[in-house]
């Protein structure tokens, strides 16, 4: 006899294999699926790329009734529905982008029980018409995606999410599953309370993303450094470049295009149509680089983003982790690269100092920035430090971040710190003047600039006492003192000022260990230059041309059908096909990512491409 649980397990596995074409569940997907299929509530915390979607999509197929998926990502609903349709799942969405006829069609399908999943924006659930519609249908499950949007402290707060606690009251018998990739403890707790999911079972995955290589490099000429990264390590790859301002987004995109890289801009200053068009192209075409402010990215589930580069310092570790997490959802090697320099620290400290909001708010911003700076300046494994920040302590060194690959030297910077701090002290106390970092460094180096002559700063006792360090090293000293709060920036000009902690260094009660500034930019990944696009790098040479032909076939097919390339097949699937070179449909069906529907639709096409090879 088969017990009901076994039966459901069988159903779930069968759906995983036949519909999605995957062999096995990943991590705790299976447990979540079983729990939800059996009618339990769940709160699922998994990093980006962890495989959250299947946690509700499979219960949606196994349970009776329609699964209603609440998602804030209106612009992506079409793609989500396309991806499900491609594997033969009946899905639809209702949102403000539709015309009435389309809406009526989806509503009718919902009422007739002809949908497995229905995507809705949270604001729709605040309207009486939608609620009335839902009342008339049969709902098997509520999935609340991007559940961190309910957090009032997070940067993605959506007031309509607060309303979602009513689902439980109106449909007490329908299980709910909330999902997010936001990792902090505080947000988790807030989600559980606000969505009334306190009795739900919590599933918390490790937030490690082992396939992402974390690198934080000293900023020199950021655009050129970026270009070198793209040319040396990611030619032809899709990626995202984050910049702080709209102006630098525009300039960086132009620079890349002028240098032969297919790049598009995205920021809130562009009109909605351009933004939507650029996002569409990024999702649909292979190998585009999106240069964007952080306005871009939430819910972008393009699996083959091979790198995320930051040209400016993110404001928090949470933001950094979320943004870099958009790389490598498909589990293939990817790069998270950040260029960081003195000017970033000055600028961000200044922004906080002049920001509106009360003291508590500014303290909160400063604490977030401090954690980000600590990550930049660490001589430890970046991944270990990141995971510790998210509450996963005791992680061993990863061997896949810059500090593991090229351990930075540290040095005793106490004397250098004293020289710099005492320059700031003398300017302030003896002359009642404040200056920025550049001028203070000039004084230490004994430079004869107009500004020094004009103010008679050559008579300061610290003038010329710093010739033992290079200018770049002095900038490193200033940056690290700012990062550690041993120095502050003030006012609109970002002038330097002492802090309470400075006195400890000046009074020799505190030593300062610093990260050594490298002589010249580290040249890519040490000992392992890539020189080829990541996706083909570790393919057998014979498989590379086959993979390229499969990609070309996929691009043409995607264009013909008006869907993103990854909706046809993921890179990982094409790689496996190129490597294993199946010769029959039966063999092809054993490749991960080839489910029944795709086999029927594309099987002959693939075998045709392989036969030509």
Residues contributing to the site for ligand ADP (CB under 6 A): 22, 25-26, 29, 46, 48-54, 301, 303, 329-330, 570, 592
Residues within the interface to Zn ion (CB under 5 A): 381, 383, 398, 401, 404
CA nearest 231: which of 263, 251, 255, 261? Answer: 261
Comparison of 399 and 529: residue with beta carbon closer to Zn ion: 399
State how far the Cα of 22 lies from the Cα of 114, in Å rounded to an integer. Answer: 25
The sign of the CA dihedral 460, 461, 467, 471 is negative
Q: Name residues whose C-beta falls within 8 Å of residue 510's C-beta, 6 or more positions apart in sequence.
A: 414, 501, 504
Provide the 10 A C-beta neighbour count for residue 48.
24
* In the complex, minimum distance from the CB of residue 20 to ligand ADP, in angstroms, rounded to a whole number: 7
- Cβ–Cβ < 8 Å for 229, 337: yes
* 125 closest CA partner among 59, 72, 54: 72
* Contact yes or no for 44/179 (Cβ under 8 A): yes
DSSP letter at 498? E
What single-letter DSSP state applies at residue 117?
E
Least Å from the CB of residue 28 to ligand ADP: 11
CB of 378 to Zn ion, least distance (A): 10
Residue 48 or 385: the one with the smaller Cβ distance to ligand ADP is 48
Q: Residue 30's Cα: distance from chain center in Å?
A: 25
215 binds, among Zn ion, ligand ADP, none (CB under 5 to 8 A by kind): none
Q: Which is nearer to ligand ADP, 27 or 605 (CB)?
A: 27
341: partner contacted, choices ligand ADP, Zn ion, none (Cβ within 5-8 A by kind): none
Using the minimum distance from each CB to ligand ADP, give the nearer residue, 74 or 465. 74
On whether the CB atoms of residues 286 and 556 are closer than 8 A, the answer is: no
Shortest reach from residue 218's CB to Zn ion, in Å: 18
Cβ distance 302 to 283 under 8 Å? yes
Distances (CA, A) of 529 to 397, 532, 541, 575: 21, 9, 17, 21
Min CB(71)–ligand ADP separation in Å: 11
Least Å distance between CB 570 and ligand ADP?
A: 6
Pairing of β 201-204 and β 42-45: parallel
Measured CA to CA, the distance from residue 584 to residue 606 in angstroms comes to 10
Strands 495-498 and 487-490: antiparallel
Report what 9 binds from Zn ion, ligand ADP, none; CB cut-off 5-8 Å by kind.
none
Bridge partners of residue 308, in order along the sequence: 240, 336
Q: Angle CA(56)–CA(60)–CA(65) in degrees, nearest 5?
A: 145
Mapping DSSP to helix (H, G, I), strand (E, B) and coil, where does residue 486 land?
Answer: coil
Dihedral sign (CA 517, 519, 522, 528): negative
Question: Of Zn ion, ligand ADP, none, which one sits near residue 30, judging by CB under 5 to 8 A according to partner kind?
Answer: none
Residue 552 CB neighbours (<10 A)? 12
Pair 345, 483: CB distance under 8 Å: yes
User: 330 touches which of Zn ion, ligand ADP, none (CB within 5 to 8 A by kind)?
Assistant: ligand ADP
- Which listed option, Zn ion, ligand ADP, none, makes contact with residue 404 (CB within 5 to 8 Å by class)? Zn ion
For the packed helices 359-377 and 342-353, what is the interaxial angle rounded to 10 degrees?
A: 170
Q: Based on CB atoms, which residue is closest to Zn ion, 34 or 377?
A: 377
248 binds, among ligand ADP, Zn ion, none (CB under 5 to 8 A by kind): none
Q: Which is nearer to ligand ADP, 48 or 557 (CB)?
A: 48
Please identify, using beta-carbon distances, which residue of 342 and 401 lies nearer to Zn ion: 401
Q: Which is nearer to ligand ADP, 27 or 236 (CB)?
A: 27
Question: Tokens standing for 457?
Answer: 């700063």
The item of Zn ion, ligand ADP, none sharing an interface with residue 577, based on CB under 5 to 8 Å by kind, is none
Q: How far is the CB of 197 from ligand ADP (least distance, A)?
A: 18
Residue 203 CA to residue 20 CA, distance in Å, equals 22
Residue 447: name its binding partner from Zn ion, ligand ADP, none (Cβ under 5 to 8 Å by kind): none
Question: Shortest distance, CB of residue 304 to Zn ion, whole angstroms?
Answer: 24
* Residue 398 interacts with, from Zn ion, ligand ADP, none (CB under 5-8 Å by kind): Zn ion
Min separation Cβ 379 and Zn ion, Å: 11
Q: Which is nearer to Zn ion, 34 or 402 (by Cβ)?
A: 402
Number of residues that make up the chain: 613
Q: Measured from the CB atom, is 337 or 435 closer to Zn ion? A: 337
401 binds, options ligand ADP, Zn ion, none, Cβ within 5 to 8 A by partner type: Zn ion
Token pair 């007490």: residue: 172
| Binds 95: which of Zn ion, ligand ADP, none (CB < 5-8 Å by kind) | none
Q: Cβ–Cβ contacts within 10 Å for residue 97, how many?
A: 13
- Distance, in Å, from the CA atom of 166 to the CA atom of 162, rounded to the nearest integer, reads 9
In the bound state with ligand ADP, the residue whose beta carbon lies nearer, of 163 and 592, is 592
Q: How far is the CB of 167 from ligand ADP (least distance, A)?
A: 21
Min separation Cβ 233 and Zn ion, Å: 18
Measuring CA to CA, which residue among 227, 258, 239 is closest to residue 534? 239
Identify which of residues 87 and 441 has a Cβ nearer to ligand ADP in the complex. 87
For the bound state, the minimum distance from the C-beta of residue 30 to ligand ADP, rounded and expressed in Å, comes to 9
Q: By C-beta, is 23 or 102 nearer to ligand ADP?
A: 23
Output the smallest distance, CB 304 to ligand ADP, in A.
Answer: 9
381 binds, among Zn ion, ligand ADP, none (CB under 5 to 8 A by kind): Zn ion
Q: Are 250 and 371 in contact (CB under 8 A)?
A: no
């Amino acid at each position: 006899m088969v017990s009901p649980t076994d039966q459901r397990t069988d159903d779930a596995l069968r759906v995983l294999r036949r519909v999605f074409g995957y062999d096995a569940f990943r991590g705790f997907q299976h447990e979540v699926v079983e729990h939800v299929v059996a009618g339990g509530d769940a709160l699922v915390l998994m990093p980006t790329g962890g495989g959250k979607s299947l946690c509700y999509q499979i219960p949606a197929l196994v349970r009776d009734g329609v699964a209603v998926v609440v998602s804030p990502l209106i612009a992506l609903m079409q793609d989500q529905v396309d991806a499900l349709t491609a594997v033969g799942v009946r899905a639809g969405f209702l949102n403000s982008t539709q015309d009435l006829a389309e809406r009526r069609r989806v509503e009718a399908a919902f009422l007739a029980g002809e949908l497995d999943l229905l995507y809705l924006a949270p604001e729709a659930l605040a309207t009486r018409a939608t609620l009335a519609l839902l009342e008339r249908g049969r709902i098997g499950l509520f999935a609340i995606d991007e559940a961190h949007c309910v957090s009032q402290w997070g940067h993605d707060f959506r007031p309509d999410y607060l309303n979602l606690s009513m689902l439980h009251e109106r449909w007490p018998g329908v299980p709910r599953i909330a999902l997010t990739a936001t990792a902090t403890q505080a947000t988790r707790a807030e989600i559980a309370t606000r969505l009334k999911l306190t009795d739900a079972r919590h599933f918390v995955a490790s937030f490690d993303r082992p396939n992402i290589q974390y690198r934080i490099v000293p900023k020199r000429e950021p655009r050129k450094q970026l270009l070198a990264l793209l040319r040396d390590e990611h030619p032809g790859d899709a990626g995202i470049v984050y910049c702080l301002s709209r102006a630098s987004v525009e300039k960086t995109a132009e620079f890349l295009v002028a240098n032969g890289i297919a790049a598009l801009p995205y920021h809130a200053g562009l009109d909605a149509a351009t933004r939507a068009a650029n996002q569409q192209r990024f999702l649909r075409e292979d190998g585009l680089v999106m240069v964007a402010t952080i306005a871009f990215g939430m819910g972008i589930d393009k699996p083959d983003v091979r790198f995320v580069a930051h040209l400016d310092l993110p404001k928090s570790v949470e933001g950094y982790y979320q943004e870099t997490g958009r790389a490598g959802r498909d589990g293939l090697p990817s790069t998270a690269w950040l260029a960081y320099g003195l000017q970033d620290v000055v600028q961000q400290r200044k922004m906080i100092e002049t920001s509106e909001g009360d003291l508590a708010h500014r303290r909160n911003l400063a604490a977030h920035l401090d954690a980000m700076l600590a990550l930049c300046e660490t001589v430890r494994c970046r991944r270990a430090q990141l995971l510790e920040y998210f509450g996963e302590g005791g992680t061993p060194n990863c061997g896949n971040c810059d500090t593991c690959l090229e351990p930075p030297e540290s040095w005793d910077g106490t004397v250098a710190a004293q020289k710099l701090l005492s320059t700031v002290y003398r300017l302030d106390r003896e002359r009642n003047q404040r200056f920025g970092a550049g001028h203070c460094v000039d004084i230490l180096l004994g430079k004869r600039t107009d500004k020094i002559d004009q103010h008679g700063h050559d008579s300061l006792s610290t003038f010329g006492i710093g010739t033992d360090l290079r200018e770049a090293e002095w900038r490193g000293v200033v940056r690290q003192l700012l990062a550690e709060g041993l120095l502050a920036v003030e006012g609109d000009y970002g002038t330097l000022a002492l802090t309470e902690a400075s006195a400890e260094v000046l009074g020799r009660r505190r030593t300062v260990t610093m990260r050594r500034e490298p002589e010249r930019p580290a040249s890519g990944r040490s000992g392992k230059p890539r020189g080829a696009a990541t996706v083909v790098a570790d393919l057998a040479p014979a498989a590379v041309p086959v993979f390229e032909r499969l990609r070309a076939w996929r691009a043409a097919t995607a264009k013909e059908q008006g869907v993103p390339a990854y909706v046809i097949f993921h890179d990982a699937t094409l790689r496996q096909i190129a490597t294993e070179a199946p010769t029959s449909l039966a063999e092809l069906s054993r490749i991960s990512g080839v489910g029944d529907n795709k086999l029927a639709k594309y099987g002959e096409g693939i075998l045709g491409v392989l036969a030509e090879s």
